[in-house]
Amino acid sequence: METKTQFLKSKLINWYSKNKRDFSWRNSNDPWKIFLIETLAQQTQLERADSYYKKFIKKYPSPDKMAQDSFSEVLKMWSGLGYNNRAKRLHDASKILAKQQFDEIYPNFEILPGVGKYTKSALLSFSYGDKVITEDTHVNKIISRFFGVDNVNAFILENSEKLLDGVNSRDLNQSFMDFGSTVCTKQNPKCAICPLSIKCKKYFTNKSSVQAKFKGSNREIRGKILKLLSSKDKLTKNQLAKELEVNKEKIEIALSGLVKDGILKKSSNNNFEINS
């Protein structure tokens, strides 16, 4: 008799074989390509991240190439993606990888800036074929709804062997991602056409996060500062406030954060510039 876990796996992988999205890095096991797309895709829709990936991989086919370039150049290519800390961590990671290859630091990828539990598991699964579940938002959402559980991490820890038994972890993890993006969506999931529906607990919680307004936010001001400094090289706090038409207090908060994150540096004459 087929267990509920076996049902989930077989249905997901069967669905994925017919509906998977076509991306150039999907069939690659090059850890640099996987690391690059995973960094770009953080807090960004995959289709949009993929358009940036194509530009990045063309200019930086290896971490050595990126490490040889300035952070300012990487940041220019990053423009429009937001959350510029990711660009800084990516550039810093490329410097480490120019000296130590992925194979040399395997499996301790968390030593790279910006690599947390998910990115590490993605590298292990997609590049090295290790049997791990990549616990991203789609995986957590589907498992929570299907099995009716709140503590998904504990559930995966207890059941990872069953979930991964007899399947390719790359296929299973990617099926979770595509299925969660197109069928078992966060809002208005398509339960009527869902192949998991007959055994799904349909466990929907009322948990929701309210995203902070972007217009006028510190995040928007940080982005504007970096865009301006990409073309002007150096500006003082007062010049930035005047050019961007933002009050000095908000500019000061944004500048303080950018300097603390290592994205900008302040010179002795109070000019701010992108930290290369």
Q: Is the peptide bond before 107 cis (omega within 30 degrees of 0)?
A: yes
- Within 13 Å, how many C-alpha atoms sit on residue 44's CB side? 21
Catalytic residue among 2, 38, 110, 249: 38
Query: How far apart (Å, rounded) are the C-alpha atoms in residues 187 and 182?
Result: 11
Count of CB atoms situated within 10 Å of the CB of 43:
9
Measured CA to CA in angstroms, residue 149 lies from 11, 97, 225 at distances of 20, 39, 44
Q: How many helices (H) and strands (E) does the chain have?
A: 14, 3
Please indicate whether residue 158 is annotated as part of the active site. no
Contact (Cβ atoms closer than 8 angstroms) between residue 37 and residue 57: no
Contact (Cβ atoms closer than 8 angstroms) between residue 180 and residue 138: yes
Q: Which residues are catalytic?
A: 38
